[in-house]
Amino acid sequence: MSLSPLSLVWTLFAVTAALDNGLMRTPPMGWLAWERFRCDIDCENDPQNCISENLFIDMADRLAEDGWKELGYVYVNIDDCWSSKERDAQGRLQADPKRFPRGIKYLSRYMHDRGLKLGIYGDMGSHTCGGYPGTPLDKIQIDAQTFADWEVDMLKYDGCYSNAEQQAQGYPEMSKALNATGRPIGYSCSWPAYHGGLPPNVNYTLLGEICNLWRNYGDIQDSWSSVVSISSWFFKNQDVLVPAQGPGRWHDPDMLIIGDFSLSMDESRAQMALWCIMGAPLFMSNDLRTISSGARSILQNKLAIAINQDPLGIMGRRVLQEPNHIEVYLRPLSNNASALVFFSRRADMPYRYKTSLSKLNYTTGRYKIVDVFSNEQRLLKDSADFVVSVNPSGAVMWYVSAPGGLSFRNGPSSGDCSDLSSFL
């Protein structure tokens, strides 16, 4: 009998060696070209913004010199449209000779000399999404070795122009091929995004054995509606997604668009807060040469980054959806701490949301609160009511630590508040 495409996917998965590269034990951070610069290859008329070695050198310089690297933003990731339309005489991928005249290894060395890392893009179909040479099944071994020879540090492996059977074989084979090179290369898989992101079409237990991170959902666009759509999908499906995430295996809701054209400052803080409460990879896609001071301050917020990088790696949950369109999210952190996000889906005016830590299932005690974006601090008793003013399409994020140790009640107190103790 023959296996269905879906059965074949997980059968092949089961016989593949687990990914054991020791990488990305906290969510990876850096800069990625795609959302902001797409497939702009017109270097004659748009030399500052086209996909070329100059663009990636510029962004590397900004990461190294403007305080990003020290905060953890170390990956500089090339996306689609970097390669020549033809492989070389030995069958290897090669960079476009006009836009990358010194080749990819030069860029890797440039990054490494500055304490940064280089990521690159491939696709397991006949062509990439942008129409450049893909890495189909018969090219996996040679391309994995080529990336290692170029001293690349991360591969994003897309799935355009491939089918379920090819993906079933190709994604695990690329994982094995990367490991076999002997070079540590972080592996980002787009596989789940091509199958709806959810079981039974996606088995996250098995996926976590071959990939360091994976795209579950569609590409982000430079719009607030795109941010909301993506975050809504992740938290709607949190019961499936939370158990699948942990150190070295991350859900990737796609890039941070803070500093681009569409988001207000409130919306920018909201995206940062939601991505950090998820424990998502933080890959900016913006122009670091011209980014505003307001956007920079959000992206460089040390406490938000610390919450994102918490070593437990637990994905946060939405614990309340109020009729007044305020939502509350909670993420357990190391040292019995936690993070809270109060998020407004309102479109009218700032809303004064009243609650207490006790209503959010915190046990009896006094808790130290730090507002992540204002840095205001206070002590709160669990039973004391407090009011949080949340702007339309905005978020307030708190770091919560308990001087006497933090614990949670067993069971939700009301509404659809989740059992927070189940996180630990």
Cis ω before 133 (30° cut-off from 0): no
> What letter represents residue 387's amino acid?
V
Residue 19: its pLDDT value, please?
60
Contact, 305 vs 71, CB < 8 A? yes
Residue 206: its pLDDT value, please?
85
The rounded distance, in Å, linking the Cα atoms of 172 and 252 is 18
Contacts 24+ apart (CB under 8 A), 139-144: 139/91, 140/170, 140/173, 140/174, 140/177, 141/177, 142/91, 142/92, 143/92, 143/93, 144/174, 144/177, 144/178, 144/180, 144/181
Instruction: Indicate if 219 belongs to the active site.
Output: yes
The rounded distance, in Å, linking the Cα atoms of 393 and 346 is 6
Residue 312: its pLDDT value, please?
98
Residue 402: its pLDDT value, please?
76
- C-beta atoms surrounding 370 within 10 Å: 17
> What letter represents residue 329's amino acid?
Y
Return phi, psi of residue 121, to 5°.
-120, 140
> What letter represents residue 177's amino acid?
A
Q: How far is C-alpha 371 from the chain's CA centre?
A: 23
> What letter represents residue 97's amino acid?
P
Residue 31: its pLDDT value, please?
99
Per-residue pLDDT of the chain (424 residues; tens, 9 = 90+): 222 333 333 333 333 333 679 999 999 999 999 999 999 999 999 999 999 999 999 999 999 999 999 999 999 999 999 999 999 999 999 999 999 999 999 999 999 999 999 999 999 999 999 999 999 999 999 999 999 999 999 999 999 999 999 999 999 999 999 999 999 999 999 999 999 999 999 989 889 999 999 999 999 999 999 999 999 999 999 999 999 999 999 999 999 999 999 999 999 999 999 999 999 999 999 999 999 999 999 999 999 999 999 999 999 999 999 999 999 999 999 999 999 999 999 999 999 999 999 999 999 999 999 999 999 999 999 999 999 999 999 999 999 997 654 444 433 333 333 333 332 2
**Length, in residues, of the chain:** 424
- Marked catalytic residue, from 158, 254, 260, 382: 158
Q: Which of 294, 413, 303, 423 is nearest to 361 (CA)?
A: 413
- C-beta atoms surrounding 223 within 10 Å: 15
- Marked catalytic residue, from 40, 61, 66, 219: 219
